[in-house]
Each structure stands twice: as structure tokens, then as C-alpha cells.
Amino acid sequence: MPVHETERTISFLSIDFPKGEDGHTLVIPKKHYESIEDVPNITQLELIKHVSLIAKVIRNEHGGCNILLNDGAPAEQTIMHTHFHLVPRDKDDGIEIELWTRTRMPKEKYTKLCHKFRKLAKKHSKKGKK
């Protein structure tokens, strides 16, 4: 049963809920796109507006939410259809989403990586709009 529907997107409650949480919602494009970069720009815009609406709905009942997109198998995407997870959050809810070990990157390495990503972003942005 849909929570909300637009021309190109749909949202529905997940059947997978973190313990003590009651509103894990998925927002997906109606057409199949495996990765976020495959989604046409007009659908991307509709997706982010839809995600924003569902976040507002969740904040009506909870303190906040995590918005997640697992993009690609190495990122633990198991359903190969682009979809956003919105997980309701409340203070001290015990849900642990960010489990990686944090380290500080040396400034020189950080700057080099930033320049590399800027160059790649510029290259890919010139490949044409969808």
C-alpha cells in the first residue's frame, strides 16, 4: 500500500524495521534504475522532493530520520533498484547506523583527494544531462 505517489515515484513502508522503530519508509522511482546515476534528472528531482516530504511526515512523529541510499553491491545494495530508506530516529533509540571507524585524513592527502574528485565531477557533469 503506497504512503505517497507521484508521476515517477512511490513510497511505502518497509517490512524491515529496526527494533523499537515504527516507520521505516522506502522511496523509489517507478521505473527500474539500478544506480542513482542512471536515474534521469527529472526523476531525481521528483525523488528528492518525495524524500523531503516523507522526512517531514516522519518528523511529525519522531525527532528526526536517517536518509540512506545504498548504491552498488559494495555499499550493501541488495535490491538492485534505486531506493532511499528513511529511518525514523528518536533520542537514545539505540539504532546504530554509522558503524565505521573514523580516522583523520592528513591535510595534504585530503586536498589531493578533493582536487581529484573536483576534476572527476567536472568531467562527468560535461557528459550531458539526462
| Cα angle value 23/65/29 (rounded, 5°) | 70
Residue 83 is a catalytic residue: yes
CATH of 2-99, one of 3.30.428.10, 3.10.110.10, 1.20.1090.10, 3.40.50.720: 3.30.428.10
pTM: 0.83
79-127: pLDDT as tens digits: 999 999 999 999 988 888 877 777 888 999 989 988 999 999 899 887 7
Q: Report the alpha-carbon distance of residue 24 to residue 58 in Å, rounded.
A: 9
Candidate list 4, 50, 81, 83, residue with the active-site label: 83
